[in-house]
Structure 1
Amino acid sequence: MPEIILEDPDGTFAMLRDSVAAFAQRFDGAKSLRARRGAGRDLDRDIWSAMAEAGWLGLMLPEDLGGAGLGLSEQAILSEALGRALITEPLAQLSVFSGTLLAGAEPGAERSRLAEGLISGSLVVSPVWQTTDGGFAVVTATADVAGVTLSGTADLVVAAASADVFLVLARSKDERVLISVPAGSDGLSVSERPTVDGATLAQVRFDGCPVAAEQVLARGLLGNDLLDDAIQATRLTLAAELAGAGSKALEATVDYTKERVQFGKPIASFQAIQHRLVDMWSVAEFSCAAIVNALERLADEPGKPAALAVLAAKARAGDAAVDITRKAIHLHGAMGFTDECDIGLYMKRAVNLNATLGNPAQLRLQFVALERAA
């Protein structure tokens, strides 16, 4: 089946894939997703702690912060494997996005505390920065004697109910600042809503929320590449997870069509079915190739070429995963529409990830604008 293919001289990528396969034996992805959805939780802390024990949460954090110091290639392989296993805890946002911000923040006790907690799984650190259309949230930080006071609203916040700390990107006069805000702070409120795949997104509101000066982690982020780096790394992580989900949905469908009998023989023997499976295989292969291309551009041509490649990879992987999973449901027949059939969970997961940090139409518009920019 299609997969992200990279040179693996020391066996690191194979080890990561094997570790996810072993993990999935302990925590069945589909079963865990249904259980979390039924309980109305936005995060399974047992699974999150196990992911921390596996060393996945600090995979890309630098070694001086206690992380593994690995790169996006390793993260992409890990996320692809998690997508295949339907392990749906929001690693991309809570580990990759938050970890990238912490790695680029100013050294200090609060930064070290958050990094240590993120890596160990003892702290769920959720980023707060978006509006419903994916733009920057209007959260203002007003300086006072004790530190700053936050006011404003942000949307699309993941694991908000489980979060121990919020990493807030706020505007202070003419600069953007990164601030650590403990959950449960005065003047902070959370309003959740369910998503299509059983996860939740939340609106976080700050109404005169006081924050101590030592919780300001970075300043001057308006002209800084840190936020762009976090978005880019997270988009590629999401693309890899989408590629894994699409590939697994294709594999499950191929297996099912070999078993489902119509007119006295497996439907996989029908030419029309074979053509559809080949189409699904083709888009899955192209999405994996786009991710490999983005990883190569990031290594060899950082800057505009890499940014274009990441936008293309996320757009292609999103389109591919949604297309594959929808066709997979159709080929599973009536049972594909039931909640008991795992293939529907893959489709819902693909739809959710496809919309995260830009759907394909939005990403292609960004691609064209960036390509035409001087």
Structure 2
Amino acid sequence: MPKLMLDDPDGTLVMLSDSVTGFAGRFPGAKAMRERRGRGGTMDPLIWSAMAEAGWIGLLLPQECGGAGLGLREQTVLSEALGRALIAEPTGAASVFAATLVGGASPGAERSRLAAGMTSGEIIAVPAWTSGAKPMTARSVNGSILLSGEMRFVDAARAATDFLVVARSADGVILLSVAADAPGLAISERAGVDGGALATISFSDCAVPADRVLSRANRCEDLLRRAILHTRLALAAELTGVASKALELTIAYTSDRVQFGKPIASFQAIQHRLVDMWIEADFAAAAVVNAVDALQAKDDDAAELAVLAAKARAGEAAFSICRRAVHLHGAMGYTDECDIGLYLKRAINLNAMLGQPEQLRLEFVERESGYGRGRT
């Protein structure tokens, strides 16, 4: 099956991928997704603790914070394997995005507390931030910071112990952690496509101690750029895993399903569809590898373009492949008992985070035009 092809001289990447296979044997992804839906979308703390114990949550946290101190090559391989296994815990938000924010924060007691808790699984730090949303407003009163505003489409809000909030203050933009049970903070939820829950978090003069400020900057972009870049890449890798596994399941099903005395995979029309799906999955994997290489080359502009292309390509491939996979499974593909529909729902959910393919393509064109002018 199509997969990420990255250099692995010491075998670390293979071990990471194999660890997910073993994990999925203990916590089957499809079963966990159905159980989460039955709980009203709340994530399973047992699964998250096991992921932390495996070292996955602190993968991108620096070693001085107690994390693994590994890089994006390792994260992309892990994310791809999680996508293949349909392990739908919110690693994009509560691991990659949160770890990048915390790892890049100013050294201090709060940063150390969050990093240690995230690595052990005792703290679930969820970013309360949405692309395109207005930042919270923050004002200092009697040694505390009062937050006001609203954030929508926040993943895993009920499970969070802390929220990572970006707010606009009188002298710029700040990143701070807010306890999930802080007075003035309210959470309302609705069901998401893949069985999880999406929350709206409201802050009404929510008082936060001043020592919970993690970073300061002049613009939101200065605080969030790296976190968005890393998370988009991880999401692209996970989507690639979803696409590849959906293709694998479809090839297996069409090889076993007999019609008119022979497997339907032997029919030319079916073969053409499977080849098209294979090509899409292979292109998605290649786009993710290209983005990893661009990030390692440390050309910021080229890296941003490559990551945009990877997320757009992988997102479209995963949705297209999963949609056709459901079709090729016939009537059973539309039933809840058939796992292939869960892959489609997961692809839809991952696509919605940090930009749909159409939006990312427009951003790519806009950035590429500016990048080209800057190079001439």
User: Given that residues 129 and 170 in structure 1 are in contact (C-alpha distance below 8 angstroms), is that contact kept between their aligned partners in structure 2?
Assistant: no
- Deviations along 1:22-74, one digit per CA (max 9) or x if unpaired, are 00000000001101111113211000000011000000100000011100110
Hey, what does 1:210 align to over in structure 2? 207
Matched, 1:201 2:202: no
Residues 1-374 of structure 1 correspond to what in structure 2 (within 5 A)?
Answer: 1-130=1-130, 134-222=131-219, 225-373=222-370, 374=374
Asked if the contact 1:36–1:42 (Cα under 8 Å) also holds between the matched residues in 2, the reply is: yes
Secondary structure of the 1:206 match is strand
CA contact (8 A) 1:129 1:154 kept: yes
Given the two structures, how large is their TM-score scaled by the length of structure 1? 0.98
Assess if the C-alpha contact under 8 Å between 1:315 and 1:361 holds in 2: yes
User: Structure 1 254/161 Cα, relative in aligned 2: closer, same or farther at 3 Å?
Assistant: same
Task: State the 1:226 CA deviation.
Answer: 3.7
Q: Which amino acid in the other structure matches residue 154 of structure 1?
A: M
Q: Structure 2 regions of 5+ residues with no counterpart? A: none
Q: Deviations over 1:93-138 (max 9, x none)?
A: 10110111111111111110011111111011000122xxx31333
Q: In the alignment, residue 182 of structure 2 is paired with which amino acid?
A: S
Quick one: which amino acid aligns to residue 117 of structure 2? G
**Which letter maps to 1:193?**
R
Mapped contact 2:126–2:156 kept (Cα < 8 A) = yes
CA distance in 1 between counterparts of 2:262 and 2:41 reads: 44
Are 2:166 and 2:220, in contact at CA under 8 Å, matched by a contact in 1? no
Residues 135, 166 of structure 2: 8 Å contact kept: no
In structure 2, distance between residues paired with 1:108 and 1:100: 16
Paired positions, count:
371
- What is the identity, as a one-letter code, of the residue corresponding to 1:334? A
Task: Find the residue that maps to 2:99 and give its secondary structure.
Answer: helix
- Which amino acid in structure 1 is aligned with residue 78 of structure 2? L
Residues 100 and 226 in structure 1, CA contact (< 8 A), matched pair in contact too? no
Match of 1:193, SS state, is strand
After TM superposition, the structure 1 stretch with the greater mean CA deviation from structure 2, 168-177 or 277-286, is 168-177
- For the 8 Å contact 2:216–2:223, the answer to whether it is kept is no
Q: 1:284-330 CA distances to partner (integer Å, 9 max, x unpaired)?
A: 00000000000001111421000000000000000000000000001
In 2, Cα distance between equivalents of 1:10 and 1:64: 23
Q: Is the 8 A contact 2:243 2:322 kept in 1?
A: yes
Specify whether residues 196 and 41 from structure 1 end up closer, same or farther in structure 2 by C-alpha distance, changes over 3 A only.
closer
SS of the equivalent of 2:281 reads helix
Q: Residues of 2 paired with 1:276 and 1:323: CA distance?
A: 11
Q: Give every structure 1 segment of 4 or more consecutive aligned residues whose post-TM-superposition deviation is greater than 4 Å.
A: none
**Offset of 1:224 from its aligned partner?**
6.0
CA contact (8 A) 1:140 1:172 kept: yes
TM-score, normalised on structure 2?
A: 0.97
In structure 2, give the amino acid aligned to 1:231.
I
Once residues 39 and 162 of structure 2 are traced to their aligned partners in structure 1, the CA distance between those partners, rounded to angstroms, is 22
> Partner letter of residue 345 of structure 1?
L
1:174 is displaced (CA, Å) by 4.4
Mapped contact 1:129–1:137 kept (Cα < 8 A): no
TM-superposed deviation, 1:89: 0.2
2:234 is aligned with what amino acid?
A: T
Find the residue that maps to 2:175 and give its secondary structure. strand
Amino acid of the structure 1 residue aligned with 2:357: P
Cα RMSD, aligned residues only? 1.0
Q: Please list the CA deviations of residues 268-292 of structure 1 after superposition, one character each: whole Å capped at 9, or x if unmatched.
A: 1001100000000000000000000
Structure 2: distance between partners of 1:261 and 1:142: 67
Letter in 1 for 2:278: W
Q: Is the 8 A contact 2:4 2:288 kept in 1?
A: yes
The letter for the 1-side match of 2:154 is V
Match of 2:282, SS state, is: helix
Unaligned runs of 5+ in 1: none
SS at match of 1:219: strand
What is the Cα deviation at residue 216 of structure 1? 1.0
Percent of aligned pairs with the same residue? 60
The one-letter amino acid of 2:352's match is A
Q: Tell me the distance in 2 between the aligned counterparts of 1:96 and 1:115.
A: 12
